[in-house]
Amino acid sequence: MKRLQENRIDQITQYLQASKLDPELLPEILDHLACEAEESLWDGKSFEQIYQNMVNTADAQTLLNLSVDHQNLLAMEKSLNDIVFENRNKSYGAYDLRKGYGQTVQRAVVMGVAFFLLLVMFPQLYAKLIPDPKPDDIAYIVEATPVDIIMEEQPVPPAREEPDPVQKTVKSVTPEVLPDNEVPIEELPPVVDDLQNAQPSTETVDGVDNLEVIAPPVENAVAPKAEAAGVEKRKEETFTFVEQSPQYAGGNEAMAAFLRKNLKYPSQASRAGIQGKVFVQFTVGSDGKIENAAAVKGIGFGCDEEAVRVVKMMKDWMPGKQAGVPVRVRFTLPIAFQLD
């Protein structure tokens, strides 16, 4: 097997380059031609002869056709641009712009539509992505961790309830006057000795003997019942007859003098010659005040009115007494009118 020398191969390469063979094809064509040449060498031809043959078969026109054919085959569809720019400067820039025009327009349309849609739908999109907070939405959640609260146990000593010191009392109830069959026997009045160190009360309490405190009388101490039993119920009544009648302060003489001094004989009565007694009834209160003075039986001619007037003028009386207690007493006082 004979091989081509390096310089021979270079010679072929230079020839192919000079005839402007497509660089993509060049290595293959070179290999092809070299193979042919080697075969020819094998047949005993000289390289010069072979080279001449080669140049004859693969002349410039053939190689150019090959390049064009190759390009045409690869570029299946030849666009208008390729025809327009055939044999023109394609590296200038206009060709690239034209070639990429369709793609550019397509991209521009897509982008423009997308942008426009985005612009139009922005409010809806915004509303969808960021919904308005509803009133019952939870703004935030705080996770509550259970906290154990341990009561500090302070043993409270049970307070010993000491009753307040109570005044020593002895049961001492005023005896009520009752029919014999109803009288309870057990309630006997306290002995004096008992009361020496104690206060009277409804109950007998074994309190402190002599409290330093000057205690007010025990709450349930016996209210002093002034009147004797049986009589007290008629206290507010107006008596007609009492044990001790009310008296004018100073006695009957003083009253007579007061009457003589103050009574004026009414002129009507004197002219008519009227004389007699006027009975004036009034009430002497337990405090001695004269109330409700009125003529019960009169003689007329102004004498009644005069009598009542003078009676009302009278100072306080000494109230009438029943069982030593002053009471209201109705009293009738006769006042005599006598002409001289």
Partner 1 sequence: MENNTTSNEYVRGTLKTIVLNLLAEHDRMYGYEITQEVKDRTGGAIALTFGALYPVLHKLEQEGLLLTESVEVDGRLRKYYSLTHRGNETARTKTNDLERFIEAVRLLLAPKNLATE
Q: Does the protein bind partner 1 through residue 237 (CB under 8 A)?
A: no
* The one among 41, 58, 293, 335 contacting partner 1 by CB under 8 A: 58
Q: Does the protein bind partner 1 through residue 62 (CB under 8 A)?
A: yes
From the CB of 101, what's the least distance to partner 1, in Å?
24
DSSP tag of 274: -
Residue whose C-alpha is closest to residue 81's, from 108, 106, 68, 100? 100
> In what helix (H) or strand (E) does residue 318 lie, and over which residues does it extend?
strand 317-318
* The one among 19, 25, 95, 330 contacting partner 1 by CB under 8 A: 25
Q: Which span (20-28, 100-108, 117-125, 177-185) binds partner 1, by CB under 8 A?
A: 20-28
Residue 91, helix vs strand vs coil: helix
Q: Does the protein bind partner 1 through residue 82 (CB under 8 A)?
A: no
Structure-token pair, residue 63: 């190689």
* The one among 18, 20, 24, 125 contacting partner 1 by CB under 8 A: 24
From the CB of 18, what's the least distance to partner 1, in Å?
17
Angle CA(111)–CA(116)–CA(122) in degrees, nearest 5? Answer: 120
**Which residue, 64 or 325, is less far from partner 1 as judged by CB?**
64
From the CB of 10, what's the least distance to partner 1, in Å?
9
Using CB atoms within 10 Å of the CB of residue 50, give its burial: 0 to 12 exposed, 13 to 18 middle, 19+ buried: buried
What is the C-alpha separation between 298 and 300, in angstroms, rounded? 6
* The one among 74, 80, 138, 339 contacting partner 1 by CB under 8 A: 74
> In what helix (H) or strand (E) does residue 333 lie, and over which residues does it extend?
strand 325-337
| Residues whose CB is less than 8 angstroms from the CB of residue 273 and which lie 6 or more positions away in sequence, other chains included | 339
**Which residue, 68 or 294, is less far from partner 1 as judged by CB?**
68
Using CB atoms within 10 Å of the CB of residue 331, give its burial: 0 to 12 exposed, 13 to 18 middle, 19+ buried: buried
Q: Does the protein bind partner 1 through residue 69 (CB under 8 A)?
A: yes
Q: Which span (23-31, 117-125, 156-164, 233-241) binds partner 1, by CB under 8 A?
A: 23-31
What is the C-alpha separation between 168 and 162, in angstroms, rounded? 16
Structure-token pair, residue 30: 């070179």
Q: Does the protein bind partner 1 through residue 78 (CB under 8 A)?
A: no
- For partner 1 (CB under 8 A), the number of binding residues is 26
From the CB of 137, what's the least distance to partner 1, in Å?
59
From the CB of 86, what's the least distance to partner 1, in Å?
18
Angle CA(192)–CA(197)–CA(201) in degrees, nearest 5? Answer: 75
- Residue keyed to tokens 């060049």: 26
Query: Which residues are at the interface with partner 1 (CB under 8 A)?
Result: 3-4, 6, 9, 24-25, 27-36, 58, 62-63, 65-66, 69-70, 72-74
